[in-house]
Amino acid sequence: MLAALAATAAAAASLAALAAVSAAAATNRWISFRSLAISLAGAAVFFGARFAATRAGRGVVVGGVVLAVIAASVSGLLQAYGWNWPLLADTRAPGGTLGNRNFMAHLTVIGLPLAGWIAARARTRLGALLGVGAMAIMTGAIVLSRSRAAWVGLG
């Protein structure tokens, strides 16, 4: 099993290296570097998924997802309380950086159980407080979003 994974990893790394050499020698730079970016992104997704499958990677991935959801929730909360920024859409406020309050609220409802998992699995009091604080921020963003579907998803 490990040999097959190592061979697959070597093949993915070889594909990325071959794409880099091919892009350097291509006549049309725009198309070649676009192809290189797609190949490198595929390799990054592959190696990221392998890391996420490990015990250490699970916490990193869950923590990163919760941080992203908190960032979207905080931007929605700030917009709900009157913060105006040129990059935020004014059409369906408070949508925060996602542009629509329903998008922000649905993402937050999806990320809420992960914050609960972090709070429940915390080994220290600080970790539990951070998880509960994340849940409070997310719940506030869901309530202030006025998204009925998110309210139903919240329970």
Above 60 in pLDDT, residue 87? yes
Above 70 in pLDDT, residue 1? no
pLDDT at 93: 63
pLDDT band for position 94 (cuts 50, 70, 90): confident
Above 80 in pLDDT, residue 96? no
pLDDT in tens, 30-75: 888 888 888 888 888 888 888 888 887 888 888 889 999 999 899 8
Q: Provide the mean pLDDT of the chain.
A: 83
pLDDT at 79: 83
Q: Name the residue ranges covered by the structural domains of the chain.
A: 2-52, 55-154
pLDDT at 137: 93
Contacts 24+ apart (CB under 8 A), 142-148: 142/105, 142/108, 142/109, 142/112, 144/76, 144/77, 144/80, 144/94, 145/76, 145/80, 145/94, 145/95, 145/101, 145/102, 145/104, 145/105, 145/108, 146/101, 147/101, 147/102, 147/104, 147/105, 147/106
